[in-house]
Amino acid sequence: MFNYEKYLRVKKFPHIWCAGCGDGTILKSLLRAVDHLNLSKDEVVLVSGIGCSSRTPGYVDFNTLHTTHGRALAFATGVKHAKPDLHVIVVSGDGDATAIGGNHFIHAARRNIDITMILFNNFIYGMTGGQASPTTPLGAMASTAPYGSIEPNFNVSELAKSAGASFVARTTAFHTGQMENLFIKAISKKGFSLVEVIVQCPTAYGRRNKLRSPVDMLKWQKDHAVPVSAAAKMTPEQLEGKFTTGVLWDIDRPEYTDQYRRLIEKASGQC
């Protein structure tokens, strides 16, 4: 059995997450990925903003940084730029990453700085009690969208891809094996990598949107996820209402801290 305790701050439990919340599942896959890659705990920096998902760093025995709402990538950029040898991983909620932190998100991707971002997409503001987020689906209910959301939602992965990320993948809290593999790939990738994980928030989202139990929500994830390979053979009609999973984008582009290292050599006359 996998020894999670090797990576956990066991004394900090119980965690704050609700029963049935998927955030802990993502944490488990992340720890397995870090273990698989044999990263030293001293060299991993886990950075987050504010939200339920952003509480993740508190529970793990890395260098951990719980910042301000939306700003995790800004702090993470400072850490990575200052000490490029560190493995910098950001965990962020959909509101944190794409509303208040949207600007940092597109610019971190554009710079292609070697940071791995894990976006916990639960379609809602969990921590503050269920307000609409930029990923709340059109028509879905939220405490601030009591008649159903009239705003179109972001496609987070497409956004990262267009902004310049090197690696973009999507999975769900149901697909734990795939999630672990995608984390391994994302962390290994030089450049900005995003893994969007669709995750259940039974308390703030499910309850309002006819997904009564965590099990219903996990089933929903299973039924609506279409692997990219399968999606390629499907018509747009067949894909309606579903989402693709797996590696969505993987290219090699110059990475920011590498570029800066070259700039230092140039400026200091070493080349």
Partner 1 sequence: MSNKIKPVFVQGNHACVLGALKAGCRFFAGYPITPSSEIAEILAIELPKIGGRFIQMEDEIAAMGAVIGASLTGMKALTATSGPGFSLKQENIGYAVMTEVPCVIVNVQRGGMSTGLPTQSAQGDVLQSRWGTHGDHEIIVLTPSTIPEIYRLTIRAFNLAEKYRTPVILLLDEIIGHMREVLVEYDDADVERIERVRPDCPPDQYLPFKPDETDIPPMADFGSGYRYHVTGLCHDETGFPTNDPVKIDKMMQRLNRKISRYTDDIVEYQLDGNSDAPVLLMAYGSSARSARQALRIGDERGISMSLFQPLTIWPFPETAFQAAAAGKKKIIVVEANAGQMKREIERLVNRDIQVQLIGSLNGEPIHPEKILLAAGEVG
Ligand X SMILES: Cc1ncc(C[n+]2csc(CCOP(=O)(O)OP(=O)(O)O)c2C)c(N)n1
Q: Which residues bind partner 1 (CB under 8 A)?
A: 9, 12, 41-43, 45, 47, 57-58, 61-68, 71, 73-83, 85-86, 103-104, 107, 260, 263-264, 266-268
Told to check if 126 binds ligand SF4 by CB under 6 A, we report yes
Residues 188-247 that bind ligand SF4 (CB under 6 A): 201-204
Contact between 208 and 202 (Cβ < 8 Å): no
Distance CA 250, CA 270 (A): 33
Kindly write out the interface string for residues 110-149 of this chain, putting x where it contacts ligand X by CB under 6 A and - elsewhere: ----------x-x-xxxxx----x----------------
Are 226 and 147 in contact, with CB atoms under 8 Å apart?
no
Fill in the DSSP letter of residue 13: P
Residue type, 165: A
Q: Which does 128 bind (CB under 5 to 8 A by kind): ligand SF4, ligand X, partner 1, none?
A: ligand X
Among 97, 264, 83, which residue's Cα sits nearest to residue 165? 97
Using an 8 Å Cβ cutoff, are 121 and 96 in contact? no
Residue 170 touches which of partner 1, ligand X, ligand SF4, none (CB < 5 to 8 A by kind)? none
Residues 31-60 that bind ligand X (CB under 6 A): 50-53
Among 31, 62, 72, 94, binds ligand X (CB under 6 A): 94
What part of residues 18-57 is at the interface with ligand SF4 (CB under 6 A)?
18, 21, 23, 52
DSSP β-bridge partners for residue 124? 132
Tokens of 97: 């990453």
